[in-house]
Chains A and B, each alone.
Chain A
Amino acid sequence: MVITAATEPKRAHVAAPVVDVLSDDPTQRPPLMTGENDFTSITDDVCGIAEREATPRAWYIAFAASVTGMTVMFAMLGYLIFNGVGVWGNNQPVAWGWPIVNFVFWVGIGHAGTLISAILFLFRQGWRTSINRFAEAMTIFAVCCAGIFPAVHIGRVWMAYYLFPIPNQMEMWPNFRSPLLWDVFAVSAYALTSLMFWYMGMIPDLATLRDRAKGKVRQIAYGIASMGWTGSARQWHRYEKAYLLLAGLATPLVLSVHSVVSFDFAVSQVPGWHTTIFPPYFVAGAIFSGFAMVVTLMIPARQFFGLKHLVTMKHLEIMCKIILATGMMVGYAYAIEFFIAWYGGNPYERFAFINRAMGPYAWAYWTMATCNVLVPQLFWFKKLRTNLWVMMGVCILVNVGMWFERFVITVISLSRDFLPSSWDYFKPTAVDVLTFAGSFGLFFTLFLLFCRYLPMVAMAEVKTVLPQAHAGHGLHAEEPAR
């Protein structure tokens, strides 16, 4: 059977037992999943993970480590709130240190999920179905981590509500000219939309889990979470419409949130911050780091939970290609920043960039450049971008590099601005380091809970791209669930 590529581009070769998913032959589109999958097997494979009676020991070990990390972070935050911002390394020229670096880092990571689920959905990229749930979950958790930092980095945490436009007896509104306020709106809107999108997309799968649940607790929990989903045609109709609308809503947010985050820097006048390239550069960097995080998490997860046939090497390879592409964009941005610093003729900006590359923080700059620009170049080679170890290594380095990118922008620029008399070197404290390390604990805690109790792969969506979904039909899958 032949389906036109325009309507269902990824579908071909039904039930080919052994297929080269990595084939580059444009006439032979490889299947999106390997093995002999049908609706039941997918349900069994995905639900099986959540329904396991005995939790694997490895999960417990990982969970214990993550919870420890999370506890450390909250302990550090308690210490911070009790004593003041001085427990960090922030100082007079460098008023924003690690917390803001961490915030931008985590928000950046939180970009891949919504990009995959919303933008790729609108572009009808069928391959996304295997990974979108996973990536969205990662997004939510990353945004959780990100959200903590701006909230606690302020001097008087107990007054944080001043940042929100809450009617009050003082008749005081926040300052709408401040990029930081835009940031409050952008990030909270993004967090809410992503959460909604993720959760709504999960409802049919939660209903599946509910229907298969054995114990009372599970039945009730999944029952509540699935919000009365019955799988009726009317519900599916509404669901599909709502999903499309949310995808449409989330798409501009993917681009806007990091643009607005970049405004925190670009709208100010600090040399090294005040550049118009920041919005696209930040978005590219965010997608870059987000995909790297998805790959970093996906490789062990698909291995461990037996999802290799759903998340194939092809998926990973496509993500590596995106990493390569966005890495080049980021590299271009680095280059153009230097060019403009020279071409613009502003001596302060020129120095800001000389200082990045040659000043006391040169080590941080070159770590960033190496990790973000040089290392991803390995993905030009198919052999390397399909090797799990290489992939893993590159993606971890990319995230190291992206953290340093934010460090370079935030800290180096502030440490030496206009008046040399105020220059100072920033040194983080143990509290800085432990808080950041602990935020990974929070991230992995949430992530492990997700892996254990929620459908890691969007079953309903994957089924729509199974060949069977289209057996006898020309265009749309009408009953993907079950």
Chain B
Amino acid sequence: MTNQTTTHWRSLRELENDPDLVEIASREFKDIAPETLEGVDRRRFLQLLGASAALATASGCSWEEEQILSFSSRPEHFIPGATKSFATAMDLFGAAKGLRVTTFDGRPIKVEGNPLHPSSNGATDVHAQAAILEFYDPERSRQVLREGAPSSWDAFHEALSTDFDPGRGDEGAGIAVIARASGSPTEARLRAALLERFPRATWVVYEPAGDENHVRGNELAFGRSLRARYDFRRARRVLALDADFLRDHADCVRHSAELGEGRRPESGAMNRVYAVESRFTSVGATADHRLPLRSSDVPAFVELLEDRLLGERGLRLGAPQPGPHARSLAQNTTLADFVEAAAADLLEHRGESLIVVGKSQAPEVHARVARMLQALGCVDRTVSWLPVAETTHSDSRALRALCARAAAGDVETLLVLGGNPVYDAPADADVASALERAATTVHLGLTVDETARACQWHLPLAHFLESWSDATAFDGTYSVVQPTILPLHGGRNAAQVLAGLLGEEADALGLVRATFEQRFGAAQWNRALHDGLVADSAQKSVVPALRDEVEYRIEELSADTGLELDFYACPKLIDGRYANNGWLQELPDFTTKLTWDNALMVGPATAAELGVEHEEVVELTALGVTLELPVYVAPGQARGSVAVALGYGRTAAGVVGGSTTEAVTSVGVDVRQLRRTAGMWILRGARVRGTGRKYALATTSEHHMIDGAGMEAREARLDRLVPTATAAEFAEHPDFAQHVVHHPPLESLWKEVELPDGHRWGMSIDLSACDGCNACVIACQAENNIPVVGKEQVLKGREMHWIRMDLYYSGDPDAPEAVTQPVACQQCEHAPCEQVCPVAATVHTQEGLNDMVYNRCVGTRYCSNNCPFKVRRFNFFNNTAFLDEPQNELLQLAQNPEVTVRSRGVMEKCTFCVQRIQKTKIAAKNAQRPIEDGEIQSACQQACPPQAIVFGDLADPTSRVAQLHASPRSYALLGELNIRPRNQYLARVTNPNPALVATSVDHGHHSSH
């Protein structure tokens, strides 16, 4: 069948006419040996067929065998179905946030703040709320891996026993550890033990979004490592220099709570916040005055400020005259006025003023500000200096040095204790190559991330909800990390791994107790467990002396530095560690309302100059690297600067955040290649070129350029929706908000139903205090089993969050003002939704709640149309179907068993956390006592750091909520529709500097009586 003239052949053997091949090729079934083709005869075949059919049927006859174990007797204090709370703490950036975790039948379902803890005061941020989803992430690693293959802890310790042999000759010079910032005293103790045994070992702390500039600046100023702890309670004048201290700070929850207190006009003396920043942050939105300024111009601003403080009041600062760049900036009258007013105000409030510098600014700027703070008499009043523990001090230069050493082959054993440096280290710290060169590489982490893939060993890290540990609050308060469940996947924490390597017993509780008893003695343990902390264990602040002789050189900018690119830690994903957390990915960013992406933030004027449009894909070139990413035209982004969030473009995050092994496209763009240890936050000389291509960004609200008619109406409507007054206006007309909208007397179309005496649940939200931290949104999501719908659905406008954090910009798009307003169901007494539902699926309770009856709902969506707030959320698909997939069964445990998981085709919305109301009512009834005010807290209220949300019983005139409703500031949103919402807002009052009012945007014109 083959011949010599063949021009096509299948192999060389065929070309050579190999006889075997000829034989094979001539067969009908080439892949099957001829003898197997003989097979069985017809009779035998039918026998087999019959037998196998019979056996197949028989296999269905027995139950699948599984073993369950029941309690033969109920453990003491265990009531099935009753929730229990445990105090614990979560360590982020080396600072603990005290938490209280609710467990249901032994599994954690909800995280709340620990009211006793100084860094949370009972509130939380989004990350603590999202910890539940992180904990139950089905993609968390479940076993020790060696070169990607399953292994065991014992095998790991055996394999590394030579590396950590005390008799090792080089005193551990070949050992290096890259750790995340950690405030755990136990980890610090074991670190010390390790370094004692191996004195020449290297221990590098690296946080991609760490505050190393701040610590180094204070080293410059004071000659020692210090960190500032701000007291916003005392600070009546705050100047934030490129500092988002409300989000991007280890102690942000406390900041938010304390600042919020002074934002309320009833507090007596309102504080006043000035913000100078390149990107619009939550501080900028909260501030009374905001000056958009490139981050690289902030040093010049500091020079001008220093000059001004020096000039008039003779604060003895050894500062030189402002440089030429600063002087040219001062030509801008807006800026000059701003400096003048802010400086005068700070001086006037000496000892009550505060200047906060952001982590993006150079150490010299921090040093100069430290000096100004000293001169303004702020030390130990609005700012206190705390010594920095080595385990919390991130040092990217040390990381770079370590990588260089490793690349030279000087590192044999490289341990990555938490963290993901392969993904998040600056480009000049090549961790990947370092890991390649080292003989033994180990990664400890929650998931098999980019670093785990680059290491020989991967060890599953125990989540803080499942492992004993300890932590230190930002102020140094000792906090216990108490597990709520046994480790789900046999993970261990960093301290256990260290103990194991040191040959100690790797018992987490034992390690923590040893540390604890060393410091506090055994007697206090139970108390500490209960409270989650040891009271009065905070660090003592120091009053350091300035190093007079130092001259802080601020790098002089030339005029043509080009476009500035700012990196910022994503308020949701931080440095990418939460990239696989659907709640956080889908959370609308406070200032951009962007979900599921990062983008290049470009101000409207800059966008026009660059000729790029919103959602246009651009080529961003810097340092010889070109990246493509979409543009977000962001109001308030300083002219001449663009910004991009860190934490996106993960390739080994998982099915949510992106994974190459799962073939899931990365969410957003990784900008790591543009980061250098020398310019972790600011990069000058970037170039942006439009490509003309479009990329859809999923935002939950359009607030950049829409059509003219729409923008005009939005701006005109703003004063009706979010009435704002200055403190002076408020003093004159405290009830200004009630006189913004004039309407005829409101009459009901129906005969009004008299509700029986009893509870009248209501809520009050203070728009002066709210700074848009989004904690309520995620708390609500966690409490109420709100599904994540994904980018495509968000693009279609089908996000499910029950709370919508509205944000409105007004004024000049390049220097706008912003107001925020969290809007959930307003629980109208005359609910428009109830009237139009044809099947009576949304009805009123006797306590005045607007209830959804999911079983009854057929999904006409008429209620949503008739809701003037558009806060109803419809299940367009079966949004919870993924829970039934076998690989996601673990996520079922994250659902709150007290709240229905909704099916496809039904409407849902805020219920005022009716499950919490019922629970407390039942408990009170059983105890035959009245419900106390504040006993029922909605999930959003509980999470809110500035306590802007208050829930309670309006029928009780002494309740907080009733008193707030009676406040002259209280107004009903769209009250003119006669819907009588049970939620009322406290109108926003700002405290602008009279000296700047003429130049700032008019706060609206409130009709007087």
Contacts and interface: CB of A to CB of B under 8 A. Distances in A.
Interface of A: 83-86, 89-96, 153-157, 159-160, 162-163, 172-175, 177-181, 184, 264, 267-270, 347, 351, 354-355, 358-360, 414, 416-425, 427
Contact of A184 (B706, B838, B907): B838
B864 interface: yes
B710 A154 contact: no
B832 interface: yes
B981 to A, nearest CB: 12
A180 B876 contact: no
In the A-B complex, the 5 residue pairs with the closest CB atoms: A155-B859, A155-B905, A86-B876, A91-B797, A95-B861
Given A93-B797, A267-B836, A270-B866, 17 more contacts: A96-B861, A154-B861, A155-B859, A155-B904, A155-B907, A156-B859, A160-B858, A162-B839, A162-B858, A347-B717, A347-B720, A355-B710, A359-B709, A360-B710, A418-B870, A419-B823, A421-B804
B710 A92 contact: no
A155 B858 contact: yes
B704 to A, nearest CB: 13
B974 interface: yes
Contacts of B869: 418-419, 422
7 contacts: A93-B797, A155-B858, A174-B839, A180-B837, A270-B865, A351-B713, A419-B870
B878 interface: yes
Most interface-central of B708, B720, B874 (chain A CB within 10 A): B874
A269 B866 contact: yes
B858 A358 contact: no
A411 to B, nearest CB: 11
B793 interface: yes
A156 to B, nearest CB: 4
A414 B860 CA distance: 15
Contacts of B567: none
A355 B838 CA distance: 30
Contacts of B905: 84-85, 154-157
Nearest to A415: B797
Contact of A92 (B703, B713, B797): B797
B906 to A, nearest CB: 6
A162 B856 contact: yes
B390 interface: no
Given A156-B858, A347-B716, A84 B707 contact: no
Given A93-B797, A162-B839, A419-B721, A156 B857 contact: yes
A86 B793 contact: yes
B720 A84 contact: no
B322 to A, nearest CB: 42
Contacts of A427: 796
A178 B862 contact: yes
Contact of B837 (A90, A93, A175): A175
Contact of B714 (A93, A163, A420): A420
A302 to B, nearest CB: 41
A90 to B, nearest CB: 7
B931 interface: no
Nearest to B798: A91
Nearest to B701: A421
Most chain A CB inside 10 Å of its own CB: which residue of B708, B793, B865, B869: B865
B391 interface: no
Contacts of A358: 707-709
B857 A268 contact: no
Interface residues of B, number: 58
Contact of B806 (A156, A172, A421): A421
A177 B860 contact: no
Contacts of B903: 156
Contacts of B701: 421-423
Nearest to A150: B860
Contacts of A162: 839, 856, 858
A182 to B, nearest CB: 9
Given A156-B858, A347-B717, A95 B832 contact: no
B477 interface: no
A5 B541 CA distance: 109
B868 interface: yes
B833 to A, nearest CB: 10
Given A92-B874, A421-B823, A180 B838 contact: yes
A175 B707 CA distance: 40
Contact of B798 (A92, A157, A418): A92
Contact of B709 (A270, A354, A421): A354
Contact of A418 (B793, B821, B856, B868): B868
Nearest to A429: B796
B269 to A, nearest CB: 32
B799 A86 contact: no
A181 B841 CA distance: 13
**Most chain B beta-carbon neighbours within 10 Å: one of A89, A91, A93, A160:** A91
Contacts of A83: 877
Nearest to B868: A418
A92 B702 CA distance: 14
B836 A84 contact: no
A355 B713 contact: yes
Contacts of A264: 862
Contacts of A175: 835, 837-840
Contacts of B878: 84
Contacts of B873: 92
A178 B832 contact: no
A417 B868 contact: yes
B768 interface: no
A423 B861 contact: no
A93 B906 CA distance: 16
Contacts of B868: 269, 417-419
A172 B904 contact: no
Given A418-B868, A419-B868, A420-B717, A155 B798 contact: no
B875 A155 contact: yes
A267 B804 CA distance: 27
Contacts of A179: 836
B883 interface: no
Nearest to B717: A420
Interface string B531-546: 0000000000000000
B838 A163 contact: yes
A269 B974 CA distance: 12
A422 B875 CA distance: 17
A417 B870 contact: yes
A172 B856 contact: yes
B325 to A, nearest CB: 40
Interface string B677-712: 000000000000000000000000111001111100
A136 to B, nearest CB: 29
B567 to A, nearest CB: 29
A96 B870 contact: no
Contacts of B865: 95-96, 268, 270, 414
B858 A159 contact: yes
B977 interface: yes
Interface string B772-796: 0000000000000000000001001
A181 B838 contact: yes
Contacts of A354: 709, 713
Nearest to B973: A419
A355 B903 CA distance: 35
Nearest to A173: B840
A423 B857 CA distance: 25
Contacts of A172: 839-840, 856
Contacts of B464: none
A93 B876 CA distance: 13
Contacts of A91: 796-798
Contacts of B860: 153-155, 180
A333 B876 CA distance: 35
Contacts of B710: 355, 359-360, 416, 420, 423
Contacts of B836: 177-180, 267-268
Interface string B885-917: 000000000000000000111110000000000
A84 to B, nearest CB: 4
